[in-house]
Chains A and B, each alone.
Chain A
């Protein structure tokens, strides 16, 4: 099953592609069917993160090529950081780039959504705890990187800088999450490409690791890291992240003035 959460005409709705039989409709849904039966245009709704998000757990340097790109060593233990709810944003949203920064970049990532409580879960059964998947674009502003509690929140926990969506795709509809291509386009030009085949710590390993010390609850989400190919983005840029079978997540970079600054 594939679904979105959207705001439309005074309420928040679960929605699905109206024409899921049409090839490509997952990429650009022209029409959505709301849970109450109404059919609405995808352009007329506000897209929200596609599920009720609990704890946001993110991975740094989980692709060998990206680790090399940032001149970092391949980690021995997953490099995990946490994010708060204020940073979340839906499909077709705007993310602010402060005027004074030199390097703000996107990160296209496979997001793994927990469906069943996981506590000291072994990797062999870990995928049974996964409800589904979505695309994440986890922005960073490298200018603000300091060597204290990296990656510090000013880099990675900014308002509206963690984009999730457009769809929540059931785990049953993703036969091999360990073999999905990821692509990012900036204004239509391909800038980032990778495959979840190249994850240093794969999904079962991450669930085993995390659940060894923290209980994962339904709605908790693991952003599994990004491959190489991160480039600077500027106000007005349209950043599109794609993952096989999960759709296409669009975000626009906005200037300070659009946020009243």
Chain B
């Protein structure tokens, strides 16, 4: 688990030079994730597909450094890992337009949104998603200048080095700029904050002893070992 100071150990060679520790993420933003719900999205308790971005918060106790073991709680057979591109905010973003939003981004990293699998997205308990160590980040912040287009990146996940997921950030309902515009309409993002763009479905499942490696074109590779036990 990562104390605030540990955030310095994720290299960030562009301003703001460190992460703030605040991590937000979007769910159901990858087309495959909403499609996986099918007609369920129109039935109770949801009644209608989402209008605003569906967002979650990964609090500071969840942040975990590259290589740190993520613990699978006893009695939980497997965890789900949402592999997402993370946008690292470079300057205060409030009511940005979709077309200028990327000017507010300092760089990119990989965000692994770990959770205990649960079917309902209505009012899920935070004990599924906010457990200690459930948000590995890394490996480093890749400066914006090194990524030509955040909306055209391949994301691959390897379970014990076998390819289990292949997706692209080109398939987002809200591409990076649009998501930033819709989010900052009501909540300001600050330098060093991270916003995860969204993971494809079905998300890989992991068991004790597994290692999941997430790779994003030009952003790097993040290996996450999983072991049963208490964090």
Contact = CB atoms under 8 A, between A and B. Distances in A.
Q: Do A and B come from one complex?
A: yes
Contact of A55 (B56, B60, B124): B60
B94 A214 contact: no
A214 B187 contact: no
Nearest to A157: B187
Most buried by B among A54, A120, A213: A213
A150 B123 contact: yes
A148 B127 CA distance: 17
- Interface range, A side: 20 to 34
Interface string B41-58: 000011110111011110
Contacts of B123: 79, 149-150
Interface stretch (A83-91, A167-175, A233-241): A83-91
Contacts of A77: 125
Contacts of B190: 85-86
Given A147-B45, A149-B121, A214-B59, A87 B132 contact: no
- Give the interface SS of chain A, mostly helix, strand, loop or mixed: loop
B5 to A, nearest CB: 12
Contacts of A152: 52, 54-55
A80 B54 contact: no
B45 A85 contact: no
Contact of A147 (B27, B46, B57, B94): B46
Given A86-B187, A146-B51, A149-B55, A217 B60 contact: yes
Contacts of B45: 147
Nearest to B186: A158
Nearest to A54: B60
Most buried by A among B22, B61, B131: B61
Nearest to A81: B126
A142 interface: no
Contacts of A80: 125-126
Interface string A141-159: 0001011111011100111
Interface string B1-41: 10000000000000000001010100110000000000000
Interface string A40-78: 000000000000001101000000000000000000010
A162 to B, nearest CB: 11
A213 B127 contact: yes
Interface string B112-137: 00000000011111110011100000
B1 A215 contact: yes
A217 B61 contact: yes
A148 B54 contact: yes
B188 interface: yes
A144 B27 CA distance: 17
Most buried by B among A57, A87, A150, A214: A214
A255 interface: no
A144 B190 CA distance: 23
29 contacts: A55-B60, A55-B61, A57-B59, A79-B123, A84-B24, A85-B22, A85-B190, A146-B51, A146-B52, A147-B45, A147-B48, A148-B27, A148-B50, A148-B54, A149-B54, A149-B121, A149-B124, A153-B24, A157-B55, A157-B186, A157-B187, A158-B187, A159-B188, A213-B73, A213-B130, A214-B130, A214-B132, A215-B61, A215-B231
Closest 8 CB pairs of A and B: A82-B57, A55-B59, A150-B123, A153-B55, A213-B127, A148-B54, A148-B50, A86-B188
Given A55-B59, A148-B122, 19 more contacts: A55-B61, A82-B56, A83-B57, A144-B52, A146-B50, A147-B48, A149-B122, A153-B187, A154-B186, A158-B186, A159-B94, A159-B187, A159-B188, A212-B127, A214-B126, A214-B131, A215-B61, A215-B132, A217-B60
Interface of B: 1, 20, 22, 24, 27-28, 45-48, 50-52, 54-57, 59-62, 73, 94, 121-127, 130-132, 186-190, 230-231
